[in-house]
Amino acid sequence: MKPLLSKTTKPFIIYVLIVLAVSIPVYYFVVDTIWQSELDEHNQIVVEKTAYEFNQLKLSGTELEKSLELWNHIQPETSIEKISVERIKGDKMYTTEKHLPFISEQKKERYRCLEKVIYIENQPYLFTIQTNIEESHETIAVIAMITAFFFIMIVVGLLYLNRKLSKSIWKPFRDTLDQLKTFSLNNQNKIDFPSSDTTEFEELNQSLSKLIERNISAYKTQKEFTENASHELQTPLAIIKNKLDLLLQDPDLTEKQYRIAEEINKALTRSSRINKNLLLLAKIDNHQFDNSETILFDQMLTQSIDMLEEHFEQKNISVEKKIMPDIKVHGNSSLTEIMINNLIINAIRHTSAEGFISIQLSNSVFEISNSGTRALDQKLLFKRFSKLSADSNGSGLGLSIIREICKFHHWTISYRFENEHHIFSVRL
């Protein structure tokens, strides 16, 4: 996961990089165009000034020819050539490349050229002037270095400003987040969010306050319902069961009446168990259990096995135990005991007579396996009231309770079927 600041800064930096990279050839084109325009203007001035100066000298024909010849020798980048009237044409400006004969290095130089007809002593002459243009790769290199320098300055400045501004701009949000992290429905403490001059943060705080109030109200209602249901349902169920027990002891009952009363008693027992399990699930969902105890898991597991020893003997089930000593976990002892008992009872219930159960405990894994014939449907495995076997004594909530207890403790439960054995593993 990345902080919001990096998610907004990175695209902006990439955008700036692309813009500056594209700007390099644009800068070069603009600078080169301006440079050529300035050179054209420079060449025009040189040509006009040269023609003016020659006309001011008032040279004779022979002196003029000698002077032009001398000019052409000492000014290698200019040329003044006498032309006929037929060759008179308009100004011509262009760019060319050529080797410099007096430089040993074999490289071409760019020149901006101007061909212009001038009149000296009323005679037409073709004046050609060539002016060296700055080398393109040098210009590009300089522009690229300057662009890179400013890009680094932009990035450094942006990161610095973002870091500084984020501390003040995002402070109300972080304060809100810190208070939400400490909020618990069990404590039901109302949060007073600090006011903010940022509209979005103020709206967020108001919405969160309303949401928390509704959740606290719903939590209280649900908790009251759970407590009332526990009291109101258990009492009549217990009364009915007592009455049925008395009825079953009546010697005047016929065989048919006894069977009917026995079926009612079984259904009532199952209903009472389902009610207790549903209430337990509701309490787990409502976080009504403390999870700060230190539990000696190995001792609790051994006690549960000893307590259920009679059930193993009834079905003549062989039990293999591999329990490491001094295994401690943090959580709720009551829920942990329920999880252990449910897993063992589930294994006993679904193991045929003369079967085999293996119980193992290590530093990080509690595993229980029992013999079986085919794999269970994992889609229905932890679903409430799902029936994975023909056994009608179960409530259909045992594995659901186990999963919720594991969630409560932040443990992970998994199932697999290997070598004709059902294996449930709880990673502690």
pLDDT score of 168 more than 90: no
Give domain status of residue 275, yes or no: yes
The range of the structural domain enclosing residue 230 comes to: 199-285
Residue 354 lies inside a defined structural domain of this protein:
yes
Going by pLDDT thresholds of 50, 70 and 90, the confidence category of residue 182 is: confident
Q: What percent of the chain has pLDDT over 70?
A: 90
pLDDT band, residue 323 (cuts 50/70/90): very high
Show the CA angle centred on residue 71, arms to residues 68 and 76, nearest 5°: 130
Answer whether residue 390 shows pLDDT above 60. Answer: no
| Residue 165 pLDDT greater than 80, yes or no | no
Q: Is the pLDDT of residue 393 over 60?
A: no
Asked if 279 and 304 sit in the same domain, the reply is no
Indicate whether 298 and 364 sit together in one domain: yes
pLDDT in tens, 247-291: 888 888 888 888 888 888 888 887 787 778 777 877 787 777 888
Question: In this structure, is residue 186 part of a structural domain?
Answer: no
- Are 46 and 118 members of one domain? yes
- The residue ranking higher by pLDDT, 111 or 393, is 111
Q: Answer whether residue 203 shows pLDDT above 80.
A: yes
At residue 426 the predicted structure's pLDDT band, cuts being 50, 70 and 90, is very high
pLDDT of residue 395: 57
Q: What is the arithmetic mean of pLDDT over 186-207?
A: 79
102 pLDDT more than 60: no
> Does a structural domain hold residue 173?
no
Tell me the two tokens of residue 64. Answer: 């003029």
29 and 85 in a single domain? The answer is yes
- 346-377 tens-digit pLDDT: 899 888 888 899 999 998 899 999 988 888 87
Average pLDDT over residues 75-94: 86
Domain count, the chain: 3
Phi, psi (deg, nearest 5) at residue 276:
-65, -40
Average pLDDT score over residue span 128-156: 80
pLDDT band at 4 (very low <50, low <70, confident <90, very high): low
Boundary residue ending a domain (97, 128, 155): 155
Cα Rg of the chain (Å, integer): 48
Q: Which of 53, 67, 116 is nearest to 88 (CA)?
A: 116
The set of long-range contacts for 269-273, using a CB threshold of 8 Å and a minimum separation of 24, is 269/241, 270/392, 270/393, 270/395, 271/237, 272/234, 272/237, 272/238, 272/241, 273/395
* Confidence at residue 31, expressed as pLDDT on a 0 to 100 scale: 80
96 within a domain of the structure (yes/no): yes
Residue 140 and residue 9 share a domain:
yes
* H-run or E-run covering 275: helix 255-285
3 pLDDT band, cuts 50/70/90, is low
370 to each of 319, 349, 364, 388, 397, how far by Cα in Å? 9, 10, 20, 15, 19
- For residue 336, give the CATH number of its domain: 3.30.565.10
Average pLDDT for 3-27: 78
In a domain, 100, yes or no: yes
241: helix, coil or strand? helix
Q: How much helix, strand and coil, in percent to the nearest 5, is found in the chain?
A: 55, 20, 25
Q: What pLDDT band is residue 394 in, cutting at 50, 70 and 90?
A: low
What are the tens digits of pLDDT across the range 125-139?
Answer: 999 998 888 665 677
Do 305 and 329 fall within a single domain? Answer: yes
Q: Which of 257, 285, 313 is the last residue of a domain?
A: 285
Residues 88 and 16 in one domain: yes
Residues 143 and 10 in one domain: yes
Lowest mean pLDDT among 255-269, 286-300, 379-393: 379-393
Query: What b-and-e string marks burial along 417-427, b requiring 16 or more CB atoms within 10 Å of the CB?
Result: eeeeebbbebe
In a domain, 164, yes or no: no
Residue type, 310: E
> Can you give the pLDDT at residue 301?
93
**Is residue 216 one of the residues assigned to a domain?**
yes
Residues 149 and 14 in one domain: yes
Same domain, 146 and 203: no
Based on the fold, state whether residues 68 and 141 are members of the same structural domain. yes
The answer to whether residues 408 and 284 touch, using CB atoms and an 8 Å cutoff, is yes
Q: Are residues 265 and 317 in the same domain?
A: no
